[in-house]
Amino acid sequence: MNMVSEQEKLLEVIDLSLAVKRGFNWITIIKNISFTINKGETIGLVGESGSGKSLTAQAIIRLLPQPNIKVVSGDILFKGISLLSLTSRELNKIRGNNIAMIFQEPMTALNPVMTIGTQIFEQINIHNNNLGKQTIKKQVVELLTDVGIDLPEQRYKNYPHQLSGGMRQRVMIAMALSCKPELIIADEPTTALDVSLQAQVLSLLSALQEKYNASLIFISHDLAVVAQVCQKALILYAGEIIERGEIDSIFNRPNHPYSQALLLCTPSQQQAPRTPLPSIPSSQLLTEAPEDRIERFNNLLKDFASQKSSLDEICQQPPTRKLSKEIVLKTHNLNKKYSLPKPLFSLKKRYFEAVKNISLTVNSGETLGIVGTSGSGKSTLAKLICGIEVADKGDIELLQQPLDINDRKALAVNIQYIFQDPQESLNNRHTVEQLLIEPLIIHKVGTKKTRTQEAINKLALVGLNESYLSRYTHELSGGQKQRIGIARALMLKPKLLICDEPVSALDVSVQAQILNLLIELQNKLNLSMIFITHDLYVVRHIADNIAVMHHGEVVEYGSAESICGNPQESYTQQLIAATPTWPLVNNALA
């Protein structure tokens, strides 16, 4: 490979170390990170939560949360200029102009009381105040057109809450590109999007990057997305870069045992459905020596290998999974529509049909996967089943009895909900014990002593010990919070669990742990599950049957094997085609 000339180097991070304040001490959390990005190049930062990906990005544009995190040593050079030595005034000329950032959650990054057009206008005006208002407005409309927003003149006047999640992310991209930056930092820009929107945003980013000849730092825990977008990748663990290289090398011939373990955690066609996925212990040890870490992960790989060989033996003579014919849930011709605002001077009512004529059956011990893009009606159907919403037409039978939405306690005993974001669904003022025993108190089950014991039993079921009883949610990791959410859902011993995107925002290793846990619990307790997701490879791994939804209708229904292996409907084929893959031989997603 030819040596890169100084002129081609756009950004250099040199021996960067960051420290966080804990009490009166400073603890190093990013250790001597170094990398270079050249003009027009795309580099991926890959790693689990807590590895230091976002902190590295924030350090580049000096957005570290002060005063609790600081740069201890090292330097960051942008076109040969040290960003760490610039004054705030000097930095503001570069930030947003030469270096732009696309944040993970546009709803929190965009100003809710300003129209999107005004926000992009303001960004251009700050860095190009010599341009006239009409010229800037024309540029804003062109940018909205470039990022694929229809009716840009009208959308110019929209507020963020009036746009869908995909459109808000497009606005963030338009804002990042508004001053034609030389470097774009994209921090998990597609994590909350469904596969179709994700494919559109990734395609858009690549096209616009080429058009503006910008460099891109792409931060993600989704390995397949990084493989699709980036030319090179850096693997981070506990604040250190443990491996770097070209995408083909990293994904097909990883050297570090941690990289190898990370790749093995993702559900794939090579992994037999419902068999345990390899998972990595969640704690990232900041004080661990590199040689000790390599030894630890080599031992982990040996465990993976022995687990795989035993699974291969099982797969040669797979045990027949006996599913009961007892029907737990049955829906017949479910319909739900919502009224829309009437146009001015119109008397005609308008409706949006969220669910149309849906008939499904879930047997005891069975998992039904429901997949589809955002707005397809998945969550509305789940709300109808658990009685949060009332169907306009159709019937729902639970345990062969008509669903009585007025008897909320009986519903809660038989149906429980696991939410996508446990942080939002768990009361952060309550300890884990209070969270777990609350359903028992409401339903007047047991005594104080037996309730606590039941909470301990449920924690043990989800792989946590009783020391967690006294903790608050802010003291838990994302995977631990989701385990608490699952334990709470099990407290009343329900017959049916509705899992609404329970792993979509989790790292691949934590995702593997939660999928393994749900399958283990289902086998132990004979639970029936409805698993809602937009990830076809996750649902292939856990579900017995799959219903594909589009515009409120079930467009394809069948076994997980037939839907994922031989889809008949063009919409299902499009969903599979939109799912990012990487070119692996032994762990291929497609």
Mean pLDDT by 10 residues, the chain (590 residues): 57 95 88 93 88 90 87 94 92 89 82 93 87 90 85 88 78 87 88 77 83 89 85 92 92 89 78 81 71 84 73 49 82 90 74 91 94 85 90 92 85 88 84 94 92 92 88 81 90 92 80 88 91 87 93 93 89 84 41
Structure-token pair, residue 199? 């494919």
Structure token digits, residue 229: 């977008």
Q: Which of 159, 155, 156, 219 is nearest to 191 (CA)?
A: 219
User: Model-level pTM?
Assistant: 0.81
**Predicted pLDDT of residue 285:** 66
Scanning the structure block, which residue is given the tokens 């009490």? 23
Quote helix, strand, coil % in the chain, to nearest 5. 40, 25, 35
- Tokens in use for 458? 């449920």
Spatial contact of 564 and 540, defined as CB atoms under 8 Å apart? yes
474 phi/psi in degrees, rounded to 5: -70, -10
Q: Supply angle C-alpha 13, 81, 68, rounded to 5.
A: 55
pLDDT number for residue 36: 95
pLDDT score for 282: 62
Please provide residue 536's backbone torsions phi and psi, each rounded to the nearest 5 degrees. -65, -30
Q: What is the dihedral of CA 581, 584, 585, 590, to 10 degrees?
A: 0
Q: How many whole angstroms separate alpha carbon 435 and alpha carbon 453?
A: 14
For the chain, the maximum distance between any two Cα atoms, rounded to a whole number of angstroms, is 74
Instruction: Read off the DSSP letter of residue 150.
Output: S
Going 109 to 111 to 112 to 117, the CA torsion angle's sign is: negative
Give me the pLDDT at residue 223, please.
Answer: 82
Distance CA 245, CA 230 (A): 11
User: Tell me, what's the pLDDT at 564?
Assistant: 86
Write down the pLDDT at residue 235. 94
The number of beta carbons lying within 10 Å of the beta carbon of residue 74 is: 18
Q: Among 271, 323, 148, which Cα is nearest to 542's?
A: 271
Tokens representing residue 572 in the block: 């299902």
Rounded to whole angstroms, how far apart are CA atoms 47 and 481? Answer: 20
Domain ranges of the chain: 40-54+87-260
User: Is 3.40.50.720 the CATH number for 40-54+87-260?
Assistant: no
Q: For residue 34, which phi and psi values (nearest 5 degrees)?
A: -135, 130
Residue 368 is predicted with a pLDDT of 96
